[in-house]
Structure 1
Amino acid sequence: MRTFANIAAITLAILVPASAQAQSDADRLREALRRATLQVRQLEDQRAVLQAKQAEAERERDRLKKETTALKAQVKEVDQAYRQAVEDFNQRLGERDEMLERWKNAYSEAAGVARAKDAERAKFEREAAAFKASTKSCEAKNAALAKTGSEILERYEAMNPLEAIAVHDPVFGLKRVEHQNTVQDYRDRILDQKVTP
């Protein structure tokens, strides 16, 4: 029995440290498992956070793509509106230039007509002044002619029958030369008053 006890003691001595060692290995393994589980949880948490961030980033990317597309469409519309506005402005500018050219031509024509009318007016004024001077001259000559006519009539009325016979007598003709000189003098005075156009 002693051997048995010795064997048992030896077995116990071998088993006790072995079980203590086994328990220590199990504790280490449990600790390692706990740490590994904690790391796995932390990594899963990090993965979930990163996946959430990735999903948020993808949503943000999609939103930004939509905004970019919308902004590109807006830019296109604004560019088209700008081009249309420039085209309209250039068209209105061309129409304004045409209208301005027509106005310039009309003004030039009106100025030409005004100059022609002004020249005509000046010509008519000169002619009117010449006609006034001519009329005054004619009036003066007419007055002188009327005076000469009156003198002739007065002399004719004042002539007595003897003088008429003396003037027309072909035999004596005493007063005939004097009468012819007087008639010639009156004729000259009448011719002097003749208006020449």
Structure 2
Amino acid sequence: MRTFANIAAVTLAIVTLAILAPASAQAQSEADRLREALRSATLQVRQLEDQRATLQAKQAETERERDRLKKETTALKAQVKELDQAYRQAVEEFNQRLGERDEMLERWKGAYSEAAGVARAKDAERAKFEREAAAFKASTKSCEAKNAELAKTGREILERYEAMNPLEAIAVHDPVFGLKRVEHQNTVQDYRDRLLDQKVTP
């Protein structure tokens, strides 16, 4: 603004001198120089005005760019804040899910251990039943064999009793001579021993 004021003052002085100059040839020449100086000054003023307008336009553009960048910075700060909150929430949710997963794994481990214990107990019980079944099967076979032997011995006793005639019966029970008594007692003892041998021991 000070430059424009100086140029205006110079221009005014030149115009004043042109008016007050004598009407001689020398004065005419001086007036021509002054007019040329005025045109030059006017041109400089216009150039300065153009430069000022250009600078003002650039300043306005710079201010608009500054305002735009300020708005973008504010928006980016808000976006960064939102992203930070979202990140913190995601981390918190992840940690929560991780804790829930660990808790579930512990429950699964407990259930698996319990199931494994039950399975081991069932296996032991099954093995016990198998041993008992095998022992019972062997005992059953032994009982069947003893029963067969008892039946055989019983048949022999019946056959021997049925084959005994009255004279043999009298001889067995004769208290005087006892001809068959000892033989009969030995036979009875033999059958008794055979029956005792087939007795099932619990």
Measured against the shorter chain, the TM-score band is: 0.7 to 0.9
Which protein shows a greater Rg?
Answer: 1
Separation in 1 of the partners of 2:83 and 2:68? 22
Structure 2 CA distance for partners of 1:13 and 1:28, relative to 1, 3 Å: closer
| Other structure's SS at 1:196 match | coil
Give the deviation of 1:108 after TM superposition: 2.2
What's the offset of the Cα at 1:179?
0.8
Residues 143 and 200 in structure 2, CA contact (< 8 A), matched pair in contact too? yes
- Structure 1 residues 2 and 64: alpha-carbon distance in aligned structure 2, compared to 1, 3 A threshold: closer
Query: Take 2:126 and 2:93, find their aligned partners in 1: how far apart are those partners?
Result: 48
Compared CA separation, residues 2 and 71, structure 1 to 2 (3 A): closer
Partner residue, 1:4: 4
Gaps of 5+ in 2: 10-14
Shift of the alpha carbon at 1:156?
Answer: 1.7
1:62: how far off? Answer: 0.5
Worse-matched range after superposition: 65-74 or 25-34: 25-34
Alignment-derived partner of residue 107 in structure 2: 102
TM-score where L is the length of structure 2: 0.83
Unaligned runs of 5+ in 1: none
Q: Within 1, Cα distance between the matches of 2:199 and 2:3? A: 198
Distance of aligned partners of 1:6 and 1:93 in 2 relative to their CA distance in 1, 3 Å threshold: closer
Question: TM-score, normalization: structure 1?
Answer: 0.85
Residue 119 of structure 1 deviates from its aligned partner by: 2.0
- 1:131-160 CA distance string (max 9 Å, x none): 101100110011101111111122122222
The separation in 1 between residues aligned to 2:124 and 2:43, in whole angstroms, is 116
The 3 A distance-change label for structure 1 pair 24 and 178 is same
Query: Cα distance 1:64–1:149, how it changes in 2: closer, same or farther (>3 A)?
Result: same
